[in-house]
Amino acid sequence: MKTALITGAGDGIGLATAWRLTREGYVVLAAGRTREPLEALVAGLRGAGHAARAVAVDVADGASVKERLGRLGAVDLLVVNAGVCRQARLDAPDADQAWREVLGINLDGAWNTLKAVAPGMPGGGRVVLVSSGLGKLGRAGYAAYCASKHGVLGLMRALALELAPRAITVNAVCPGWVDTRMARADLDHTAATEGLPAAEVRARAEAAIPVGRFVKPEEVADLIAFLASDATAAITGQAYNLSGGEFGL
């Protein structure tokens, strides 16, 4: 039986991915900063007859990651998903704080996780990193988030070459707007900043998406499951868009 480690598993894409991978027979190691949602997820998975375990860890803390994740044993699939989004323009009073927090979790966290887990992965393993459409594009007010997600893609491309001799593939998914708690909080922030109803801000975002809706977390999970499959042994170093047609780079 194969083992999948998912960071940021307590909510959104990570939560959907945990459930999706059980359909492929994985033992799920659900990692995240807050224990309560992880334990709720694990209880649900076990109640449905699946093997799962919660791992509380702050991916921005390199020492903690090394201790907590480095001793888990062989991981066949690593899904690097933990992330946060903070808006802050260059001249905002909290710009430096937002930069440190976002880069610390989204990029340092990805590095810390890979450094702790990848050396012990068996040959033929899979790594999938969750980047973003803003890992390929820019958006005013999202400098830290854009920089972190661009960095995730650079990390992915370098490690795809580094791990290829062990037949470990390393790819990324780049979602657009996904209907998650984090996205809704971001929309609420924009609405408050612009003095608009949150529903109006969401409608504006949806209007810019050709399919007219946000991506579902389960749709991202399906793409992650595909990239983890045996069918993708020759696919590595790639960044896949999932945006309803919003962007195509």
Enumerate the active-site residues.
145
What dihedral angle (degrees, nearest 10) is formed by the CA atoms of 219, 221, 223, 226?
-140
At position 27, the amino acid (one-letter code) is V
Q: Which helix (H) or strand (E) holds 28?
A: strand 27-32
* Tokens matching residue 81: 């998903």
Output the CA torsion sign for 110, 115, 116, 120.
Answer: positive
- Asked if residue 76 lies in contact with residue 4, where contact means CB atoms within 8 angstroms, the answer is yes
Tell me whether residue 231 is exposed, middle or buried, using C-beta atoms within 10 angstroms of its C-beta: 0 to 12, 13 to 18, 19 or more: exposed
